[in-house]
């Protein structure tokens, strides 16, 4: 669900990168320092200051640095306004609470597109101004009234090459086939992606998934219940694989490279039938910096340059079609909208999730617990 904890875990990866020497000490310390500084300034948050910067509500960690370099710098150059962060994680309940309390301290939330569907009609979000933001600079169907997709992340899976070396699994049907491919599986705990994977495995076509047939999906899920674990965070997904707890594990696809590295290539990423999730920017109703400023910020994030920087820095795949064929060669295997993968992926329907997500999560939890 909107539990995009993987954003937060980029901090962990930041620490990994630092250890591996990919990030120098000064950057790392600056990153750590920035967290403290930004939190303090957000807390101070007086109205005067609010006018000259935009506050982004994200999951902290490395995404602060990446959002700053990929979007913030260009935005500041164009408008003179700064970028600050609230790193507490914009879960749907928290956005609702913030708006309901009347104390809105964030301008733009790095959330899921289906949040725009569920929170928009209830009056918790500002409408996107499509005279500033472009509908063309995202995938069709991913520019909605109250939110626009900026990046994509995907649910793919990795498998143990030692267990299935000669006859590797190729799709979700293989993933759910524990007779042909014996071993443990791991799936995402908050239903998203897991339900789609189950239906694809059960033979539903990728373009005929929605509305999801919950009964069918859940009975498929239950068919491997005894052989599966469920993760709620990217680090759990990672450790279940790396510790050898599962021989096939659903993961956020941007973690694929790390897992392949951490297991010395023993586990391999499969992007076929990867489920593309639109990550979106949404604006809490009554945001302090005003609607114009935040729309310009969102428009900046749509630019090809920003999109490629986000991919490079965070592993998030561009959603602007103009960026697809500019994805560098070295990143194409791990980016779901690269030429190598884009034909094989299946798109998430934010409208269905926005309207049915809550019930779907509860039904899923009921099925697995």
Partner 1 sequence: MLALRKHISPGWWLVAPFFLLVACLYLGPILNILWLSLSDPEPGLQNYSKLVESDTLARIMWTTIRICVITTGFAVILGYSIAYAMVHAYRREQSFMLTFLLVSFWISILVRTFSWLMLLGRKGPINEGFEAIGLISEPVAFMRNELGVLIGMVHYMIPYAVLPLLVNMQTLDQRVMSASRNLGASASQTFFRIYLPMTTPGIVASALLVFILSLGFYVTPAVLGGGKVLMVAEYISVQLLVTVKWGVAAMLAALMLAGVLAMLWIMSKFMKLSTVFGGASS
**Per-residue DSSP letters for 174-191?**
HHT-TTTS-S-EEEETTS
Buried b / exposed e along 223-245 (16+ C-beta atoms within 10 A): bbeeebbbbebbbbbbebbbeee
How is residue 283 annotated by DSSP? -
3-state secondary structure of 281: strand
CB of 80 to partner 1, least distance (A): 36
Q: What is the rounded CA–CA span in Å between residue 181 and residue 161?
A: 12
CB of 163 to partner 1, least distance (A): 13
- Applying CB under 8 A, the span of 52-60, 158-166, 329-337, 351-359 interacting with partner 1 comes to 351-359
Taking CB under 8 A as the rule, does residue 2 contact partner 1?
Answer: yes
Site for partner 1 in 142-161 (CB under 8 A): none
How is residue 331 annotated by DSSP? G
Question: Which of 65/160 has CB closer to partner 1?
Answer: 160
Q: Provide the 10 A C-beta neighbour count for residue 133.
A: 22
How many residues sit in the footprint of partner 1 (CB under 8 A)?
32
Question: Which of 13/65 has CB closer to partner 1?
Answer: 13
* Class of residue 291 by CB neighbours under 10 A (exposed 0-12, middle 13-18, buried 19+): middle
CB of 306 to partner 1, least distance (A): 29
Among residues 56, 104, 93, which one has the least CA distance to residue 286?
Answer: 104
Contact map string, positions 70 to 99, toward partner 1, x by CB under 8 A = ---------------------xxxx-x---
Taking CB under 8 A as the rule, does residue 123 contact partner 1?
Answer: no
- In the set 231, 252, 324, 334, which binds partner 1 (CB under 8 A)? 231
Q: Which residues bind partner 1 (CB under 8 A)?
A: 1-3, 91-94, 96, 118, 187, 189-190, 225, 229-232, 236, 239-240, 243-245, 357-359, 361-362, 365-366, 368-369
């Amino acid at each position: 669900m909107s539990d995009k904890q993987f954003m937060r875990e980029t901090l962990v990866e930041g620490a990994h990168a630092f250890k591996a020497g990919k990030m120098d000490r000064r950057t790392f310390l600056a990153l750590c320092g920035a967290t403290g500084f930004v939190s303090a300034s957000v807390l101070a948050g007086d109205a005067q200051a609010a006018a000259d910067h935009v506050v982004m509500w994200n999951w902290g960690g490395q995404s602060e640095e990446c959002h700053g370099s990929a979007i913030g710098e260009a935005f500041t150059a164009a408008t003179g306004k700064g970028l600050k962060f609230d790193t507490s994680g914009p879960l749907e309940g928290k956005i609702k609470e913030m708006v309901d309390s009347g104390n809105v301290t964030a301008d733009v939330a790095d959330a899921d597109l289906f949040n725009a569907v569920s929170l928009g009609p209830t009056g918790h979000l500002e409408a996107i101004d499509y005279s500033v933001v472009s509908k063309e600079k995202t995938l069709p169907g991913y520019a909605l009234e109250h939110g626009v997709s900026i990046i994509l992340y995907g649910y793919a899976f990795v498998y143990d090459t030692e267990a299935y070396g000669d006859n590797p699994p190729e799709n979700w049907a293989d993933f759910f086939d524990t007779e042909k491919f014996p071993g443990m599986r791991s799936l995402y705990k908050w239903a998203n992606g897991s339900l789609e994977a189950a239906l694809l495995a059960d033979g539903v076509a990728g373009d005929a998934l929605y509305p999801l047939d919950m009964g069918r999906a859940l009975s498929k899920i239950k068919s491997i219940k005894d052989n599966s674990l469920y993760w709620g965070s990217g680090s759990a997904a990672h450790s279940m694989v790396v510790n050898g707890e599962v021989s096939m594990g659903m993961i956020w696809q941007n973690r694929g490279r790390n897992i392949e590295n951490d297991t010395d290539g023993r586990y391999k990423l499969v992007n076929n039938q990867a489920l593309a999730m639109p990550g979106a920017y949404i604006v809490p109703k009554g945001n302090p910096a005003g609607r114009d400023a935040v729309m310009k910020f969102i428009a900046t994030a749509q630019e090809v340059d920003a999109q490629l920087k986000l991919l490079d820095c965070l592993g998030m795949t561009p959603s602007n079609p103009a960026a697809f064929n500019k994805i560098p060669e070295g990143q194409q295997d791990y980016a779901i909208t690269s030429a190598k993968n884009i034909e094989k992926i299946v798109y998430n329907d934010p409208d269905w999730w926005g309207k049915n997500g809550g019930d779907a999560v509860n039904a899923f939890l009921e099925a697995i617990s």
